[in-house]
């Protein structure tokens, strides 16, 4: 499990924009790295749109927003287009990055157990150090809380 004060695990993932993004290439920026369960679901749509709407505020504070789920690039591209998202969505179909960040967990719904992404956000500073971690994120007031932490 990673902790506040540790170096954020580096990764390289494909983006819905067709680019390949490496986390360490963003040194010098504050990175808001958020993991979400699934494109086009109500909670994930609400969260993505909240990040979209606050992006000018994040940018003004030298922040970059990245969304990660295990959905395919095709699914991400559709989600981004449908919701007019203004930040990259990264595909972690192998869940390797999700595992590095400790967000690939056992979940339970209606008594059925399955593996899925625990909605989580990581604030990474300009040197690549994790400054804050939000796990089991509740969408209400999450964006203002992240902005306050920048």
In 6-142, the DSSP E strands lie at: 12-15, 20-22, 30-35, 63-69, 89-91, 104-109, 112-117, 120-124, 130-134
Residue whose token pair is 């010098």: 28
First to last CA, the chain: 23
Candidates 8, 13, 32, 44; catalytic one:
44
CA distances from 72 to 67, 68, 91 (A): 13, 11, 6
98 catalytically annotated: no
User: Active-site residue numbers?
Assistant: 44
């Amino acid at each position: 499990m990673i902790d506040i004060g540790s170096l954020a695990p580096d990764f390289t993932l494909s983006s819905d924009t067709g680019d390949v993004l490496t986390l360490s290439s963003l040194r010098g920026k504050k990175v808001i790295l958020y993991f979400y369960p699934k494109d086009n679901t109500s909670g994930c749509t609400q969260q993505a749109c909240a990040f979209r709407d606050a992006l000018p505020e994040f940018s003004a504070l030298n922040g970059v927003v990245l969304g990660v789920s295990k959905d395919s690039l095709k699914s991400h591209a559709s989600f981004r287009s449908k919701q007019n998202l203004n930040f990259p969505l990264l595909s972690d179909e192998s869940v390797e990055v999700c595992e590095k960040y400790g967000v690939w967990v056992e979940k339970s719904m209606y008594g059925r157990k399955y593996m899925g992404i625990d909605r989580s956000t990581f604030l990474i500073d300009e040197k690549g150090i994790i400054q804050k971690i939000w796990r089991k994120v509740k969408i209400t007031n999450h964006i203002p809380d992240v902005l306050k932490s920048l």
